[in-house]
Chain A
Amino acid sequence: MFEQRFHFMHQNSFFHILISLIAGIYFGFIAAIIACLLTETSLGEFIDNIKSPEILSSIIISLETSIAVVILALIFGIPVAYLLATRRFTGRIILDTLIDLPIISPPLVCGLAILIAFGGHGLFSHFDVIFTIKGIIIAQLFVASPFLIRSARIAFESIDQDILTAARTLGASEFYTFRKVSLPLARNGIISGIIMTWARALGEFGATAMVAGCIPYKTETMTIGIYMHALSGNLDASVALSLLLIVSAFATLIVFKYLGRYNDPIK
């Protein structure tokens, strides 16, 4: 079952048995929880639930907003990531920390901050975003875009400096080098950033709920739907939405890992 990397790692050693055991417990725990969700419903029930207008609407809202978030995150995130990866300037550490902040802070706190900024007497109060789709997008972007920026930055930073230098000595401007060398070489990191950002946006709950509320057919995303249906006793609808999220996440990750392994330009 285990393919050994080095011949001196003995499979019958105490240590090997120990780590296998711990890993077994860990994966068993996760698999059991997912299995519980899977066995909670039948395929027929699942399809019936998904076809209900409110759930369909929440799926559409989730897809629309998360895709918008990915596009916006790309437009802002790629230049930011490139800037942080290639420039050394004072205050860089502050910017870097600012990007990590939404990853670390509770989404509720992010949501509250957005609510204050855009609501009542906030700095951006003349933008009408509270309880709207725009509010969902802003909340998701705030929480999810750092994943793309981090991933892209690491990808840009890991490009061999000599390759970029070579491009410059070959007569390429920095912009040309960015388009023709940096971007293609950072491709895998950017794609993985897109997937993480998209998944995070799709799964966003706390900040979205704070900013956009839970209005069916208007601001009810899939995750908010799961929460609302569970609260109102319609557990079947929650289960159906949860299954849809988990299965699509699993499928996306598998596809990405497969692509990443066989499409790596360096290998």
Chain B
Amino acid sequence: MIQLNDICKSFKETEVLRSLNLNVKKGEMFVLLGSSGCGKTTTLSIIAGLIREDRGDIYVDGSRINDVPPHKRGIGFVFQNYALFPHLNVYENVEFSLKARHKQKNNRNEVKRALELVGLDGFDNKNPMKLSGGEQQRVALARALVTEPECILMDEPLSNLDAMVRERLRYEMKQLQKDVGLTTIYVTHDQVEAMMLGDRIAVLNNGQTEEVGTPEKIFYKPQREFVARFIGMKNIFNGKITTLDEEGGVMQISTENFELTTVLIPSGEGTHVKACVRPEEIILMKSDQKTSARNEIAGRIITIFPNGPLMRVLVDVGGDEISVDITRLATRDLELKKGDKVILKFKATSVHVIM
């Protein structure tokens, strides 16, 4: 549906996009995830025609749109700061694009339907500047939807909202997007948002796509070390495959300080790999108890600190650090403190290997 081929863009000396490729399918919610300055917003602006690319081609439904001006591309845009027209009321804001396109007939019904869709019926005569942030973003959404665009681009639309509103609007937007079947490209730096919203996610780094995949793949089986680090896989270790146990379906990886057992993947002995374990997949115990976990590493607690709703325990394992997430209650029950000797256990399936 939307295809970017080898898009390059520099601002003065700074290369923002270096040969970026994307392929967005019809009807999907496609998330561009990356830290600030990675080129997310520039990518959206180029798709919308607000910025001219230096090189590369943009296709919508197979036709090249590089030379189509922004107001004829039929692509909706939702901004982080809503960008509502302050001199128009809610109804007029939504009606704007219909008038601009000289569609006079049935305006009233279309505007009404768009406002109903975002849950703002009855807000017609309100001054948008007097609405809450969440309501303003709904107006912006209705304003973009009313044109029935081919595709809608959203540039961190929820990042100016407080956490509660953000969560609700995120859920509603996902529902709406599914119901309408609208192709959406959604830019965010928030992994949780990307995970919740995206049908597919592209992780951008330095003006290029690092990896594209389903949330499941990106978050649990990333193929690139950058992606693994970006999505918060804390424990990433360089290692070498030592033994392959074809019958047992496992293999051994030896890192500088410890041995790991992982699920067998097709490879050869001696291959250098990166082994990752998510902090929440690790069981922490003070004395050795029998479990089915294949991996067992002894270490000493360096520090404990709150990490969102969980507690993060940093454990020194002979020179390397392993992060473990456990509940607050467990920290208290185990009476964990700095300097305690602990044993870390995790399953072979919990170790993700990046070749």
Contact = CB atoms under 8 A, between A and B. Distances in A.
A83 interface: no
Given A169-B50, A185-B86, A162 B70 contact: no
A228 interface: no
A173 B72 CA distance: 9
Given A169-B77, A170-B144, A170-B147, A181 B85 contact: yes
Nearest to B74: A171
A185 B129 CA distance: 14
Interface residues of A, number: 19
Interface stretch (B8-16, B96-104, B174-182, B311-319): B96-104
Contact of A163 (B74, B83, B99, B100): B83
A163 B86 CA distance: 9
A166 interface: yes
Given A171-B101, A172-B71, A160 B83 contact: yes
A154 interface: no
B77 A176 contact: no
B143 interface: yes
Interface in B82-124: 83-87, 96-97, 99-101
Nearest to A267: B129
B59 interface: no
Contacts of B50: 165, 168-169
B75 interface: yes
B79 A166 contact: yes
Contacts of B87: 181, 184-185, 265
Interface in B41-57: 48, 50
B235 interface: no
Nearest to A165: B50
B157 interface: no
A165 B83 contact: yes
B129 A166 contact: no
Interface in B203-224: none
Given A171-B100, A176-B100, A166 B147 contact: no
A145 B115 CA distance: 45
B129 A266 contact: yes
Contacts of A80: none
Nearest to A161: B83
Interface string A157-198: 000101101111111110010001100110000000000000
A169 B96 contact: no
A176 B97 CA distance: 11
Interface of A: 160, 162-163, 165-173, 176, 180-181, 184-185, 265-266
Top 7 closest pairs, chain A to chain B, by CB? A170-B97, A172-B100, A169-B77, A162-B83, A166-B83, A265-B87, A171-B101
Interface of B: 48, 50, 70-77, 79, 81, 83-87, 96-97, 99-101, 129, 140, 143-144, 147
15 contacts: A160-B83, A163-B85, A166-B79, A169-B71, A170-B71, A170-B100, A171-B74, A172-B71, A172-B100, A180-B99, A181-B87, A185-B86, A265-B87, A266-B86, A266-B129
